[in-house]
Amino acid sequence: MTVTRRDFVRGGVAAFSLGFAAPRFLCDLALAQGAGSRNLVVIYLSGGNDSLSMLAPYTDPFYASRRPTLAVPAGQVLQIGTDSSGIALGLHPRLTGLRTIFNQGQLALIQRTGYQNSSRSHFQGTDIWSTASPNSTQGPGWLGRYLDSIPAPVDPLAAWNTAGQTPHSLQANLVSVPAIPSPSRYAFMSATGVDGPNERAFATRIASHVPVNRPHLAFVNSTAQAAFATLDRVSSVSTYAPSVQYPNNGFALALRAVAGVLSRGIGTRVFWVQTGGYDTHAGQNTLDGTYATLMATLNDGLIAFYNDLRNQGLLSQTLILQFSEFGRRIQENGSFGTDHGAASVMMAIGGQVRGGIYGSAPSLGPDPQNPTLENNGNDVRHQTDFRSVYAKVIDGWLGADSTKILAGDFRGGAPDIL
Amino acid sequence: MASDDPLIQHVLRRAGFGASAAEVEYYSQRGLSRTINELVDFTQIADDVDAKIGTPGYTGTTSNGPFSPSTVINDARQRWLFRMVHSRRPLQEKMALFWHNHFATAYSKVAGNTFSIDATRMMAAKPSEHPAQLRGQLELFRDFALGSFRDLLVEVARDPAMIVWLDGRTNIRTRPQENFAREIMELFTMGVGHFTEADVYAGARVFTGWNLQRVGAVRDYANGYYRFQYNANQHDTAAKEFSFPIYRDGSQTIPARSAAAGMQDGIDFIDALARHPETARRLARRLWSFFVSELRPPEDLVVNRLANIYLQSGYNMAEVVRTLLFSREFLAATSYFSRYAWPVEFVARALKEVGSRGFSLASALNPLLNMGQQLFEPPDVNGWDLGQSWFSTGAMLARMNFAATLTSNQRNNIAQAARGQAPTPEALLSFYLDKLTPAKYDRGAYDDLIGYLQAGQTWTGADAQLAIKAPGLLHLIIGSSEYQFI
């Protein structure tokens, strides 16, 4: 991350405040803008996912030789067939739920996604994936730019961030995305009890002003406004009773909240969910330790979410898109872990996803001339530009114009996942 | 209220955590220059704050069992918050917070690799509380709060919590570990764009063998502990080449050395990083946005001035910060309220300005988590996302709700203080605006605060009315945008 991101200023605060819908119109607006339409759930695996352990080219002889303690053995992968170049691939053994989804034709695995001159920095890498702009990572994120493209007035619950802080991807010029890690804690408390209604009414009024010539104050006011405007609808989600049991961890509970929002149909169409721990420099323990736990969390949360949506007939209007800021080094390090690498795997799941394996796996031979690798044969080279996947989602799912939102035409080479 | 109070209050919000009425009076009498010098030269003031924990008249703490901030992380969090509220050396705590964010290390990973008692010690132990004088990372930051940045870098590279955090324990000759080498260049010193990937690989080899040693049995938590150890057997002795000068003569290569002498590699490397002009400039920019303004970037002139003082003073942070605090840019009224308050700053200031007798710091821990800042738990090695990033809707609600929790807890003190100050709603509001020092309200917001006081019943200023309206008013002020800036 750079100083510029910290100094990032939302230019359109005044426009936002004026274009912001008054609460009494919100239900109509939500219906018009979102309810019943397609929604996107973006899942960020934070830290740099070791995709060679998630989707293993288990017959490549260099896979085992370069990863003596980390390779998933052929006998243990969940086989899912071969890719376009005939390389056999298998999912991590803990991804049984994902294999079920794969077998139902609703999981797309896009291999070797990334970009040229991949950054090995978490912060720069995340900024690049967030802004879809490898050269200049200032300004709003790609999802933020999509939200900015919705005609005003914009429903303040158009997007829902389940993490505590707003990720760069969701930073927008005109829209302040609410952060709602827990619907039940998203409430306004009173200092006095008896005078609570007046406290809330006047706090709402105070936040409604646009202080003259003080955009930073106006920005904080706009955040408070968005909070007040969304309190009641969010509280309706806190009583959601899902159709399946979700695991009791942050990732699964965030997905449970998303299912609640979709089930209640309150209008949100972009969701952000993240789960961390992927920076496995040491003690990665693919099969029975750290990485296995990561895969278990991912799998168990996703399959619960998938089944919950399926039971309610919501799968066909939902698209789940997973990414991470980079993949990891092919050769395992002396700490039984892996250092920062380059290209990784993206996943898409949903009722309208054309499932399958996209792209071709890297060949892992440590030859500096190996065209599927970079960094002297140490890291996986990208084959599919991640922005072409974004373009597919923007054009083919959200119904917006990817060339405008991504400031360039990345439609060529986009995998046909939808 | 004395005429220079607003300036003193500005200085104390930035170089400290705000000020109680008594502190405003104390520093106002000393005047601006003596105030700044006393804040910077804090070693002249007794470090007596910890002795006040648990005594009447101060903010309270709550723990399961005896209060043990060197071994229980939530107690360590409460002790640090207590220091922010009550220390007579506020700039020392402020700089400790700056370094905690700069060298961001998270307790959870350290605990996951050791044990909660070991990890709390590594994060926060006070030497006087440990038989072997073990010093946790926070105490390191306090000791070097305004010391030599170069010396601080050396200490951080040897710091047990940092070594666990960035996987130094597995950095061995045959398989160098890049994590620390990357971050010391990217985040702790020069910044991205001033080094190459090859520098990262070479830097990893520099620190091979910088490891920890366990003293005592692994599960002997009473007597055992971790300390730094240079493991010569695991050091890569070959020469290391870099893309930038390592030595003053411009040489870019750390020479091959015997394993026994190999620790000097790391010292040479740190010297080079401390001396690098981009380190000087990056520190200057970070100090600018921490102390002066997040709303406007520093002019090159200012960055260069601070960078020069840093380099000419031998990396002396006291002189850099002193220059900053005496600068025209910092003291200008346009710099007032131009910094987004971090959650811990927001909480400590509210406790100072509202009062906190009978309030336990344990009740601030969950609210701080919801505001996005748990001490000793930065989200990653880059620290917290600052500025506007603090203000998600959930975090803003958490701030408003902390205001409700505090003012509800203090409602009797608040109502009592307001007695005789409230012949009119305007008089009561004016009384509290002096105490709380929010940024100026525009007319509309001001009228709404008055409107709240008048809502529901005719204003009498009677005790029963004050008992409700005074805490309600403070809730609204502390929860308003105007209070989220320091």
Per-residue pLDDT at B34: 97
Give every CB contact of residue A275 below 8 A, 6+ residues apart in sequence: A43, A44, A45, A46, A250, A251, A294, A297, A298, A301
> What is the distance of C-alpha B300 from the center of its chain?
26
Query: Is A335 at the interface with chain B, CB within 8 A?
Result: yes
By CA distance, what is B390's nearest residue in A? A165
For the cut 90, the answer to whether the pLDDT of residue A19 exceeds it is: no
CA dihedral of A178, A181, A184, A188, whole degrees rounded to 10: -40
Chain B environment of A67 (Cβ under 8 Å)? none
Segment 38-77 of chain A within 8 Å of chain B by CB:
none
Looking at chain A from residue 358 to 377, which residues have their Cβ under 8 Å from any Cβ of chain B?
Answer: 375
Determine the distance in angstroms separating the CA of B188 from the nearest CA of chain A, rounded to an integer. Answer: 13
User: What does the angle CA B65 – CA B71 – CA B77 come to, to the nearest 5 degrees?
Assistant: 85
> What pLDDT score does B243 carry?
98
- Report the half-sphere exposure of A288 (CA within 13 A, side-chain side): 3
| Count of residues making up chain B | 486
Task: State what percent of residues in chain B have pLDDT above 70.
Answer: 99
Distance from C-alpha of A9 to C-alpha of A139, rounded to nearest angstrom: 8
Estimate to the nearest angstrom the gap between the alpha carbon of B456 and the chain centroid.
42
Count the Cβ atoms, other than its own, within 10 Å of residue B56: 8
Name chain A contacts of B340, Cβ cutoff 8 Å.
216, 220
CA distance B381 to chain A (A): 10
The chain A residue lying nearest B446, using CA atoms, is A206
Nearest residue on chain B to A275, judged by CA atoms? B379
User: Collapsing DSSP states into helix, strand and coil, what is residue A112?
Assistant: strand
Grade residue A410 by pLDDT with cuts at 50, 70 and 90: very high
- Residue A116: count other Cβ atoms within 10 Å of its Cβ: 10
Q: CA-CA distance, A139 to A171, in Å (whole number)? A: 8
Cα–Cα distance between B433 and B451 in angstroms, integer? 16
Nearest residue in A to B113, CA atom: A283
Confidence (pLDDT) at A323? 98
Q: Is A16's pLDDT higher than 90?
A: no
Is there a contact between A165 and B395 if contact means CB atoms under 8 Å apart?
A: yes
Choose the mutation target among A130, A195, A237 for the interface with B, i.e. most B CBs under 10 Å: A195
B6: Cβ contacts below 8 Å, ≥ 6 apart: B333, B336, B437
How would residue A123 be classed by pLDDT, with cut points 50, 70 and 90?
confident
- On chain B, the residues whose CB falls within 8 A of the CB of A209 are 442, 444-445, 448
CB contact under 8 A, A217 and B439: yes
> Please, where are the H alpha helices in A323-394?
386-393
pLDDT at B3: 53
Scored b (16 or more CB within 10 A) or e, B26-37 reads ebbeeebeebbe
Token reading at B373:
């800042």
Whether the CB-CB separation of B179 and B166 falls below 8 Å is answered with: yes
Closest CA to A393 of A310, A321, A295, A303: A321
Alpha carbon distance A410, A396 (integer Å): 13
| Sites in chain B below the pLDDT cut of 70 | 1-4
Among B395, B406, B397, B392, smallest CA distance to B364 is for B406
Q: Please state, rounded to an integer, the average pLDDT across all residues of chain A.
A: 89
Q: Which of B387, B391, B479 sits opposite A203 (nearest CB)?
A: B479
The residue count of chain A comes to 418
Token reading at A334:
């002396």
Confidence of residue A55 (pLDDT cuts 50, 70, 90): very high
Contacts of B390 in chain A (CB under 8 A): 165
Task: Give B479's contacts in chain A (Cβ within 8 Å).
Answer: 203
**pLDDT at residue A255 tops 70:** yes
Contact B459, B423 (CB under 8 A): no
One-letter amino acid at B261 equals: A
Tokens of residue B76, six digits: 């360590």
Are residues A379 and A341 in contact, defined by beta-carbon separation less than 8 angstroms? yes
Taking only the tens place, the pLDDT of each residue in B362-380 is 999 999 998 999 999 998 8
Share of chain A above pLDDT 90, in %: 75
Going by pLDDT thresholds of 50, 70 and 90, the confidence category of residue A109 is very high
pLDDT value for B1: 47
**Token code pair at residue A102:** 């794969």
How far, rounded to the nearest angstrom, does the alpha carbon of residue B275 sit from its chain's CA centroid?
Answer: 24
Each residue of B381-427: pLDDT tens digit? 999 989 988 998 889 999 999 999 999 999 999 999 999 999 999 99
Q: Which pLDDT score is estimated for A1?
A: 28
Q: What number of other Cβ atoms are within 10 A of residue A7's Cβ?
A: 17
pLDDT in tens, B253-310: 999 999 999 999 999 999 999 999 999 999 999 999 999 999 999 999 999 999 999 9
Asked if A135 reaches chain B (Cβ–Cβ under 8 Å), the answer is no
- Confidence (pLDDT) at A6: 26
Mean pLDDT confidence for A163-169? 86
Is the confidence metric ipTM above 0.90 for this complex? Answer: yes
**With 50 as the cut, is the pLDDT of residue A35 above it?**
no
Query: Could you read off the pLDDT of A196-249 as tens digits, one per residue?
Result: 999 999 999 999 998 889 999 999 998 899 899 889 889 889 889 999 999 999
Q: Is the pLDDT of residue A133 over 80?
A: yes
